[in-house]
Structure 1
Amino acid sequence: MSPFWVTFDDVLPATSETTSTVTVDGLRLRVAHTRPAGIDRPRVVVVLHGWGASIDAVGSILAGLRDKVELVALDLPGFGESDMVPAAWSNADYARLVLRLADQLGIERFALVGHSRGAAISLVLASDPATSGRIERMVLTGAAGIKPRRRPSYYAKVGMAKAGRVAGAVGGPPGKRVQQKIRARAASADWLAAPEALRGTLRNVLAEDLSPRLPQVDAPTLLIWGPDDEDTPLWMAERMEREIPGAGLVVLRGGGHFAYAERAGEFNVIAAHFLAPPASAPTR
């Protein structure tokens, strides 16, 4: 299927959500849960934000879909107002937590909207035979999980980082200072911004290549992408479209990695059309 390009001028404003604290497996999670009025048996949609973000970052999605589907959004552990992860987590650990939250809320089957790292978690859920039957359909935008094409400068930075770790381990206080200087030059913005307790998790999720999972995805999937995305370039979306069975791709002109917010009007119209079941009609 070839991608098609759309452009709208209307943009829906983000609105605040009423949130509560839910404890899952000992972790306190900030959760927003809304249900549309006047719709019989609305589809439940779980919205997963990207790395370093929170419920607030996906506010435009919640505002655009709240009248059409039942929405559950959460601050993933380590972000926003939720508890820190207790160890170095993987994408699968986050996926298990999402399922446990759904169990606690009494939700058996649901759809997913995932951005960036939240989309990688969605891919794990929809490709695992043990859990994919619970995923009705999925919208991915700026999805992480495919190994990027590396330039020589990347490997030079990796070498610098390894040298810095050695200096920090054996060089005492002077070595630690050298390590910090190297980190400042070689580390990514996400690494530098992450608290120490999250860096093991960041290392785990960045090292995982989800490409082998793509053909195993067992849910109707729509990819909505910005052509100017520099973090997860369009070629990644095109590969996902080819390898996820039956996937479709929509490209939003002028959008980058946060196309869902930059082009909120068209994103929400397209996502709602894909996510809202035909039976979601107003009741008398």
Structure 2
Amino acid sequence: MKVQIDKIDTNYVMQGEGETIVILPGWGCNTAVYKQITDSLSKHHKVICVDFPGAGDSSEPEEPWNVDDYVNFVITFLKKLHVKKASFIGHSNGGRVLLKLVSQKELPFEVEKLVFMGSAGIVSKKSMKQKFKIRMFKIAKVIFSIGVMKKLYPDFIENMRKKNGSADYNAASPVMRATLVKLVNEDLTHLLPGVKYSSLLIWGENDSATPLTQGKTFEKMIPDSGLVTVKNAGHYAFLEQPELVLRVLDSFYGVKGE
């Protein structure tokens, strides 16, 4: 399905009937990644899963976005679909967006339960080595972007990006690269104590993108929360251990009448 959201050609899936659950995806993920969750929960709920701008079959924004832009996008998207009440699942970047979404003073819909899966939102302190690499890149960017050096070494900056950037960063377009930089540099830890909704936290014990220590911080700081640690799983615990994750989700959201 497609809908226009502020000039963004937005792709989404919607299936099932009942109380609404909205899935907010991780960076670069499309609706197909969450098919098992969608298929399972849609047996007893209406499930909506969206491709964020610049991912899947949704078009890119014209300018780089920050977390607030994603929040406004979700609000407009759900208003367009006439959603009045919903629970949410936020994976990775989707969890980051969800955290800021439910921290808004007012929303045009009622929020029920929340699930954060390997959620982003906490900015880890950089090591001295990481800080040094960032500083060296910034210096090199200045030197090799002007005059003779740019003519002599036109690909130096791009090659340096490829060597030192993450896979997500290197695979992204210029607009989405700038968006990713904005997202990962905004620390939302201070918002955790203000989450007033019942929250389930699902984390792979071997998650290297958003380490389990961050899941424990979520549990410690969100008043009504519980952490499920998925053994032998990483950042995509719901794909690596689907039976366990689906049982946990079904138990948390429950089945009306059972």
Relative to the length of structure 2, the TM-score reads 0.94
How is 1:114-263 mapped onto 2 (pairs within 5 angstroms)? 114-131=90-107, 134-170=110-146, 171-263=149-241
Distance 1:202 1:228 in 2: 23
4+ residue runs over 4 A deviation: none
Aligned to 1:34: 15
State the secondary structure of the residue aligned to 1:179.
helix
1:6 matched to which residue of 2? none
Residue number among 87, 101, 105 corresponding to 2:63 in the alignment: 87
Deviation at 1:174, TM superposition (A): 2.8
Deviations 1:122-150 (A, max 9, x none): 11111222239732111011100101242
Q: Does the 8 A contact of 1:44 with 1:72 survive in 2? A: yes
Equivalent residue for 1:16? none
Q: Is the 8 A contact 1:164 1:182 kept in 2?
A: no
Per the alignment, residue 73 of structure 1 pairs with 49
Identify which of 246, 249, 253 aligns with 1:268.
246
Q: Return the alpha-carbon distance in structure 1 between the equivalents of residues 69 and 253 of structure 2.
A: 26
Indicate how the Cα distance of structure 1 residues 168 and 79 shifts in structure 2: closer, same or farther if over 3 A, else same. farther
For the 8 Å contact 2:84–2:109, the answer to whether it is kept is: no
- 1:58 maps to which of 22, 34, 52: 34
Q: Provide TM-score, normalisation by structure 1.
A: 0.85
Aligned length: 256
Unaligned runs of 5+ in 1: 1-19, 37-41
Deviates more, 1:135-144 or 1:125-134: 125-134
CA contact (8 A) 1:45 1:71 kept: yes
Shift of 1:175: 4.4
Which deviates the most, 101-110 or 132-141?
A: 132-141
Alignment-derived partner of residue 85 in structure 2: 109
Counterpart in 1 of 2:3? Answer: 22
SS at the partner of 1:166?
A: helix
Kept in 2: contact 1:132–1:218 (CA 8 A): no
Deviations 1:209-251 (A, max 9, x none): 0101111112111101111101111110000101111111111
